[in-house]
Structure 1
Amino acid sequence: MFSKVIKVYFKQSSRLCSTKSNIKNLLENSATFVDIKPQHSEQEWATLPYPEGSKPRVQGDYDPSSKINPEDTSVILFPGQGTQFVGMAKDLLKYPMARDLFELANHTLGFDLLKICLEGPQKELDKTENCQLAVVVTSLAAIERLKEERPNAIDKCVATAGFSIGEITSLIFSGAIPFEKGLKLVQVRGHAMQMACDEIESGMATVFYGPDSRLGYACKRAKEWCVERGIEDPECTIANYLYPHCKVVAGNLEALNFLEKNSKEFKLKRIKRLPVSGAFHTKLMEPALEPFRKALRKINIEDPIISVYSNVDGKKYRNAEHIAKQLPKQIVKPVKWEQTLHVMYERGEGTHFPRTFECGPGTSLKSILKQVNAKAWDNCISIKA
């Protein structure tokens, strides 16, 4: 047992040295964020939802003096990592501005992101540094489809939120972060998080449970089990709050294996692994924080034109300064999506709900909304990619 602990210690020490070296290289070679001058019109995103100088919009329900009818407004939601699939964006290419958006993304990033979306392979698309970019650009391309099919949904949008990486999509959409610089930010985030994933084998799993389940205790026992086997400072915690009796747990692979093997003991109904490469939104992502903060400081963040809600606490961003301070926390803090939906759709009795549009790959956010607020779900449409 002692020799096993020694081996684990030296293995983790080696990884720590490698992590420090990787962080140093990433900081030195992170995106320059120099403004890119488009070579031709196809490399400009000419249809930014909210032109410079637009006046901020707010949801009528939060302003008692407002006479805005909620049914005449809309809310737009953007999905996160894990929704990607080979062939995504294919149905969007018939919309000229969606094609132009990918053209600009390819030019900005220096590689063919669209080809990875369309052709994969899945293993390549699932890499954190690729799938985060793919989900963001595909989601914004879905906005171009929404503009074509339902222009009022954009014109009368009053609020937006995104799940995990989708939060950066929502900040780009709201005008708080420029598109090209937003992509560079996502690129740094993806590389930094993949770097953290490579240092410690970890993952995520959706857990379905009942009122008599002991999920918190199960996570505690999983960490104790890891410590007993020589794993230093293991993690096993709730990373995503989805809806009642459904959460995502993230941590060391050994901890997730423990939960799966002992699910009956803790009365967990079902555990489903997610197609991600690490324990996102936990302390295991701490190596990604400094590269992301440095990249974020290179961006001139603006006050968003519409309300944007933070994953960290479910509350609305107050201004650009608040975004700069709060956004990095999202990498290591759990996504409080259920709480965010409660805040976004809080209404007085008898008050109507806005229309909701989920823009991006998959329909996961619409499914979650049904579990949290069935009345709001009645007016929700997925703009599929």
Structure 2
Amino acid sequence: MPHSLPPPRLEVQGLSRSFSGREVVREVSFAVEAGQVSCLLGPSGCGKSTTLRLVAGVDAQDAGQILVDGAPVAGPGLHLPPERRGVGLVFQDFALFPHLTVTENVAFGLTGLRPDRARRVAELLERVHMEHHAQSYPHALSGGEQQRVALARALAPRPRILLMDEPFSGLDERLRDAIRDETLALLKEEGTAVLLVTHEPHEAMRMADQILLMRGGSIVQRGAPYNLYNAPLDRAAAGFFSDLNILRGRVEGALTETAFGTFLAPGHADGTEVEIVIRPQHLKLDFDRAGRGPAPTAAEGTAARAQVARARFLGRESLIEFAMDFDGSMLLASVPGVFLPSPGTPMWLMIRRDRCFVFAAS
């Protein structure tokens, strides 16, 4: 007989929760496999932290159920407490015990023989590079060091699921990427199923195997980071990952006229107001060729003339704002490295049509 696939490590089915008559989480469903990092991503107030609290068991849902390895831990008439769900928790304030040493913090909650507990603590402290601080107290540690200890403590009992609520938000920006990478490597080694909450798209893109994009209490789009970035559901989903340029037009015969020529608008009825969305890095620039022949064209489409309004250098890239000759609208272009043309400099802009999205106007 063929072998059946094991159930997901974590499965959430139709989860809902209301406070004072307002539905904060609405029929949320998703699954997280062992060794997978899934990220609840969305703006403040979208329901992601409430969803995490429901999964943890620190709050009870109004409807739906939660299963761990196929066994229900929450559902109609059932609500197991956090300590019986096999979950570990890491929060943004780290919540270390100030009166315990690093070793005692990591060992807290471990059961079994003393030598086994000591080996597990020593192993984790070495893996998070905190073995030299084993007898230090939390107040003597930096934010990044405290985060490492909190992670080691959460992983010490070998939880089947690790829940992380904005765990890196309190760190210095220079440390964040390094700490994230170290954390991700350790989680992958442990094979833990991870549910991470964040409002930072960069963090979700860097860490997640699966992004669950939330809005208004619901999951509106899910998938790998690459897919959400390159095939957003709508303008709001696209705008959550980067700045956007918006070209507006009206559909006539499945086409829309813009400063950059005609665009296809399949699936939109004639008369529909649409927005053509393009990210700043997909604008292409060329100096004004006025007086030296017609405006250039390219496979990407017709070029449009604009004047530089402002240019800023941001370290890895330069951002240039343009005022379009066509209608005075503003567009933003990003260019790698240093590129700081003076205000008023005329230039031609072209756009990558294969990187444009056409949505009904919001």
Q: Output the TM-score relative to the length of structure 2.
A: 0.24
Q: Which of the two has greater strand per residue? A: 2
Q: Output the TM-score relative to the length of structure 1.
A: 0.23
Q: Looking at CA atoms only, which structure, 1 or 2, has the larger radius of gyration?
A: 2
